[in-house]
Chain A
Amino acid sequence: MSVVYCHIFRRLISYNPYRKKSTTMPLKRVFFWQPNAGSTVNSQILNEVSQCVESINGVKEGRWKATLTFYKPMLRDQALSAEFPREFIGISLPEQPNKYYFVLRFNKIVLESDSSIQLIMEKLQSYKSRVALNFEGFQYQLGDFQLRVGKVVPSHSENLRGIVMEVEYLPISSLEKSKQIMEEFFDIWQDAISKRSLPGRFIHIEPDFSDYGLADHYTSQHTAVQYTHVTSQLIASVQAVQTGRN
């Protein structure tokens, strides 16, 4: 049943695998903050991270904001809910104001659609937003690198749930060719931030993009997949802290 629904949904968004792929973007890695065992994330850490970026000559440019929403289907018969995709996520990204991205994490599907799809969903009353998160913060320029540091807060709340960092290398868009550059940049970053003795570290776990049918050339769909994975890791770490407390 869920497979059928996926197909219907795909047609709704006119997804055509033979259509020209979305435009390539400079490649990007999304990191999330993993607090050490026994400590939590707080805004002091966020300040320290921002200062660290500026200490390696980052120039503050402006604000950025991305959103991530967990949807649940509106069903009359709740028993059918097991047949629907387990995690259905919608993401909006600041670099693509006219697009909205859908990720089905367990089905390994990512879709790019027009941002008007949100209005359509609302009118159809097909899916409802269960949880929505905002990623927002400041953007910094470091020569050919662009960094974004942001806090993770539930929408309609100021509770800091996590910290994310995006590292983007602008000149090229090939994941394979840029691997070394990104790793070395992270080494430089680690050198700088370890001096501040913060209780935690940034982690990046590269999702398997080929599972989602994505190619070596980086696109915003890759970013959407990264955010999905980062969110699930954040949730897992928050839950781990809570169970640790109980």
Chain B
Amino acid sequence: MLQQHQHHHLQSAITAAPPPSATTSTPPSSTTGEAPPKQVALAMDRLGQAARLIADIRLGADRLLEALFVASQPHQSSKPLHLFRQEDESMRQHLQDLRTVGKQLEESGVLNESLRSRSNSWGLHMPLVCPDGAVVAYAWKRQLAGQAGASAVDRTRLALKAFTDQKRRFFPHLDDEEDGEGTDTVSKKHRNLPALAEDNQDNLSDCKTLSDVLTNLEKEIPNLKVSTYERLDWLKRASSLPASANDNTMEAPKHNFHSTSILRPAPQNVASMDKVAVIELFFPSIFRAVVSLHPAGSTDPDSVAFFSPDEGGSYMHSRGSSVYHVFRQITEHATVALQYFLGIRSKTALYSLLHWICSYQTLFTKVCNKCGRLLAMDRQSALILPPVHRPYRTLSVSKQSSSQSISSTLDQGSNAPEAYHIGCFSDNM
């Protein structure tokens, strides 16, 4: 009850400040003549003052109530009356000051959005007081701090640190090349790799178009179901997943890459290749991977994500995240691998990426090459996971005859891609 009274009092004090009338259409030249950062600084100052005044008013109200309470007790001297008068005076002064500050703030446009419509803002918006009393001021505080406090050297150092952190996280392979302290064997190994990659790229020079890549993939890997979609079509499909897994054989998927040549006449097939923006790789009962191409119809992948074969929903796209930990971890690893393929083997990035994705068909059967187990408790995340890492640097994607296709060499074969748990995987693999 008392709190409400105080708030009401304060609110009426603020709204009591008369709005800037039409006659005073030109605010005092001191505010418009100044640069916006100065205006911002002044506005922040005044907001601070207003806050202090409001605090003083609250304290004063408390003291007034105290004085009244004491006065209501019997046998009191004139002390409470004296107190009361004192507080009354200081309260009136505070309220008057608050009105003045409020007027200034209104004129500067802080309490409403009028400054945004004024052209002289240089893109720096004034701090705004929200209806709940919060002050939205963060952006210019940093701006002000940058201009007032940090020197150019400091700012450069911060920027460099932020950049190297990001680079280390998303482009780990670039680190090695710049590390001049590597041992001879390490640097030799890396010198050989680009050569190897070049070789492979020559071999695959005839796999340039999207349909070539996909046809080749389908030939080599029998369990795989490849489908292509335009971007919006994929969204529709994702929302309708999971189509009942048992009915797969009865459904005739319209966008199945392989079957379009059977179900539709060829010219239509060729035309739709130009608009293909999403490739879906589906290993039944194991996983579903979504790769996005940018621009549509090209062989440039720009993102990839893995999902459970039973998952469905509009969140399933190449930048989405599975609800299951195992597929989230693989997606993270895949993003790094994609950057590697785009950086080192940009001509065959899509082909390498798709083949690398297919190496995950042994996700639930291939044991880790380092510790020999299928499941392991990952220390960092406290999760039990299968080996979610497949090395991508040493992936050789030269064309293989069908007798050597990846799926025929079962998990124990020497040609089979390796697999590692998160903890068993070291960066130079």
Q: A residues within 8 Å of B by Cβ?
A: 20-21, 23-24, 26, 56-57, 142-145, 170-174, 176-178, 180-181, 184-185, 188, 215-217
Interface stretch of the complex, out of B48-56, B160-168, B383-391: B383-391
A176 to B310, CA, bound (A): 15
A143 with B385: in contact, given A170-B324, A177-B286, A215-B246 (CB under 8 Å)?
yes
Q: A198 CB to closest chain B CB, in angstroms? A: 22
Instruction: Find chain B residues with CB under 8 A from A20 CB.
Output: 244, 246-247
List 11 additional A-B contacts (Cβ < 8 Å) besides A24-B310, A174-B285, A216-B285. A56-B384, A57-B382, A143-B381, A143-B382, A143-B384, A171-B310, A177-B364, A180-B364, A184-B373, A184-B374, A185-B375
CB atoms of B386 and A181 under 8 A apart: yes
Q: What is the predominant secondary structure among interface residues of chain B facing chain A? A: loop
Provide the B352-383 mask, 1 if CB < 8 A to any CB of A, else 0: 00000000000011000000011101000111
Q: Point out which of A24, A171, A172 has the most chain B C-beta atoms below 10 A from its C-beta.
A: A171
> Which residues of A sit under 8 angstroms from B377, Cβ to Cβ?
56-57, 188
Chain A nearest CB from B69 CB (Å) reads: 52
Q: Which residues of A contact B385 (CB under 8 A)?
A: 143-144
* A181 closest partner in B (C-beta): B364
Q: Does B326 sit at the interface, judged by CB under 8 A?
A: yes
Given A143-B381, A143-B385, CB of A173 within 8 Å of CB of B364: no
Q: How large is the interface on B (under 10, 10 to 19, 20 to 34, 35 or more residues)?
A: 20 to 34
Given the known interface contacts A21-B246, A24-B246, A180-B374, the answer about A172 and B308 at a Cβ–Cβ threshold of 8 Å is: yes
CA distance A217 to B249 in the complex (A): 14
The 6 A-B residue pairs with the shortest CB-CB distance in the complex, in nearest-first order: A143-B383, A174-B285, A171-B324, A184-B375, A57-B382, A171-B308
Chain A residues, CB < 8 A from B382: 57, 143
Identity of the chain B residue whose Cβ is nearest the Cβ of A189 in the assembled complex: B384
Contact between chains at A144 and B383 (CB < 8 Å):
yes
Residues of B within 8 A of A (CB): 242, 244-247, 285-286, 308-310, 324-327, 364-365, 373-375, 377, 381-386
What CA separation (Å) do A178 and B386 show in the bound complex?
Answer: 11
Contact (Cβ within 8 A) A173 B374: no
A142 touches B247 (CB 8 A): no
User: In the bound complex, do residue A142 and residue B246 qualify as a contact, i.e. CB atoms below 8 Å apart?
Assistant: no
How many Å lie between the Cα of A177 and that of B327 in the bound state?
16
State how many angstroms separate the Cβ of B190 from the closest Cβ of chain A: 35
Q: Is the CB of A173 within 8 A of B310?
A: yes
Give CA–CA (A185, B376) in the complex, Å: 9
Give bound CA distance, A78 to B242, whole Å.
49
In the assembled complex, the CB of B369 is this many whole angstroms from the nearest CB of chain A, namely 16
Give the CA-CA distance A23 to B374 in the complex, in Å.
28
Q: A177 and B285: CB pair below 8 A?
A: yes
**Which residue of chain A has its CB nearest to the CB of B242?**
A24
Give the residues in chain A near B242, CB-CB below 8 Å.
24
Distance in angstroms between the alpha carbons of A172 and B385 in the assembled complex? 13
CB A59 to nearest CB in B, in angstroms, measures: 10
> Which of chain A's residues have a CB closer than 8 A to the CB of B365?
177, 180
| CA A144 to CA B247, docked complex, whole Å | 26
Please determine whether B308 and A185 come into contact, CB atoms closer than 8 angstroms: no
* Contact A24–B245 (Cβ < 8 Å): yes
User: Taking the nearest CB of chain A, how far is it from the CB of B307, in angstroms?
Assistant: 9
A172 and B287 CA atoms in complex are apart in Å by: 8
